[in-house]
Structure 1
Amino acid sequence: MTRPTVMLYVQNLLGIGHLRRAAAVARALVTAGADVAFVSGGMPVPHLPLGGAKMVQLPPIRTEDGNFKVLLDETDTPIDDAFRDARRDRLLALFEELRPAALITELFPFGRRQMRFELLPLLERARQAEWHPQTFSSMRDILVTKPRRDRNQEIVDTLNAYYDAALIHSDPELIRLDRTFPMAAEITVEQHYTGYVVNADDIAVPEADPAATGEVLVSAGGGAVGDRFMPTVARMIPDLPLADRPWRLVTGHHMPSSALARIEAAVPTNAVIERSVPNLPELMAGAALSVSQAGYNTLLELLAARTRAVVVPYEGGVETEQRLRADLLADVGALEVVAEDALTAESLGAAMERARGRSRDAVPSVDLDGARKTAAYVMDRLARR
């Protein structure tokens, strides 16, 4: 049987959460029997496991800051119309070359509005293609709330015009789309809840509880927005619970060099610093305690690893999703939350003590099988086409 080709587009602009979640979906699709072209428009990230999917790197773009207003190329130069036209043409040529049976756009049209210059032409070409590819939007559980009705209407109109379904990587028992998208009822294509996508395929939870001997793990996702959080925690280590344990600080590949220097100057001798690691979920599973930011991938990996955890959600720029997700999981007893603007040695220490008091087995029932279920749904749609 011929393996169908899936073209999966993802654009990370600031952190790496979108890229890692999309990579998990790509791996699951390969396992399910698809050939996957993983089309990345962001800055390259090391240690990205694609499991047989083919990486296609577009000329990379990142955002200048958390407000997502200015887009920069790999030389930190604002992109111009010539750059946009060249990327659009590259993307359209790739579509013609691949002739995919399915096109998946990660987050768009719920986000990444800045990429309309290339995605709307791509979607229009997919709609006109004589082989009639299936088109899916792949989105996380929580959207950054948009107060303007015209912007929300634009999302609805784009979905209804170009897509066959919206794949929502959430457990509907925890949160549904209409919680953060007020016009969900006006979407006419199927809204399919896949469960949460855990980036690590196999997280081996050790039989022995690491509470008594494990290290303290501090992480900041990709690091792009951890430049306040990570140096602050580094300075606090001597005044925190488990201060005499080994500490490991994983800053993230995109941690600014100035912040990395502050971390290096602050940590005690029993702490090690790493820019990035290929096995972060494994480190989580073996840690006595995790202190981290609260991105989608981080929280789901903590749940899968059954790690005692304190999270400090990033709340800068226009971002609201980390705090809402963290609060929802705190409400069901999964972790402890410290607000970013309330981060002190006292508040973090108290949260760490509360987390240490939790049973490792007191993990809420949340659907974490989203990668496999996404692949199964897409492959089923292709088989029934």
Structure 2
Amino acid sequence: MNKINTPIQILQSIIPSKTLEERLAQDYNFEEKARKFSAIDLLHFYLEAGVKRWTGYREGSETLVEQGDFESLNHSTISKKAQEVPYEFFRDLFQELLQRLTTSQKKKFLKDYSLFAIDSTTITFRHQTRSWAKYRKHLYAIKLHTEFNIDQKMPTHVFDTTGKDSDIMMAPLIFLHKDFPAIRVADRAYGAKDLLDQLSSEEKPFVIRLKAGIKHDVQSHNEFDFNEEWSVVADYNAFLGAKNTQTTYTYRIVTVPSETGEPIYLATNVMKLKAEKISEVYKMRWEIELFFRWIKQNLDIPNPFGMSKNKVLSQVYATLIAYLLLRSTFNETQPKWSTYTKLSFKEFTRKFIKSTLPIEVGIEIGLLLKNWRSVSNSTGKI
């Protein structure tokens, strides 16, 4: 069995390179002129860079030559190609893969709801040639506003903006598009009264930490079971805000202590879950932070390879694609090999890259990719 140790091998089982080449020409008016290093080679480069943590075009070009992928390759050739290929190609490919790879229903933490965390991460740079991303004095940044499926540990929507665009400004775009039963979990950056009322008016369930200082007009108290493990200290219903600017709706407020002992106020419109379950749902928001950590570690922040908007966003979206491909492969195969070997996603990724996965894991990956190729060839989807 051939070794599978690059994300491009996974991608090609879903969308063949020839299809991507045709799409570049048709949808982006991209004319491929290079014979030595093509746009698909650039995609290959970025995907490998995203999991092998290359530090720049130079290291990547030298590694590809050492691996035997090219007889010779100059880093300037890669840099030039990175400016030619529109970043929208990588962004749209990422969005398409999200649709293909996150449609199957997995086991849910909650029987009646899917769980989605919503948050953003700021990627900062220190270089004046990135003035297109001006953030603060001598600091430049982009933000990735993200919806994340907690059950699957997969992003489902990502919107890029400059660092100046606030979370609450982008909130309606990511909070309001889901129609199926899903609880949206978010931290206090999204704890604005207007957003809570908007979500409630559209019957969108949520658990959102309130911003500090929001007043509570308590209307009634709910009974809850005291449990030291969950440390719920209060459960009541209240209007939020001062008398003349109160919320339209009353909200259930579940209060838990922070690590420092200060109270964390969780506002929710989910009434049928126990208070300790609301607390647990909020704690599961941490999964999106682990995702952001993976992305930043594999993007070598704050040193992306290029300076232009096109180069930076191409690398960002290609790294997101690499995560998506590896996480999907792990999610789909893990139930089949977990009785033989125990691997975390981090361990799986490391062994995948080094081609040291146990043979039973490699067999399941091979079968999965064969199935994906078969389905993709017959239906155009997986």
What TM-score, normalized to structure 1? 0.25
Tell me which structure has the larger Cα radius of gyration: 2
Relative contact order higher in (CA < 8 Å, ≥ 6 apart)? 2
The structure carrying a bigger helix percent of its residues is 2
What TM-score, normalized to structure 2? 0.25
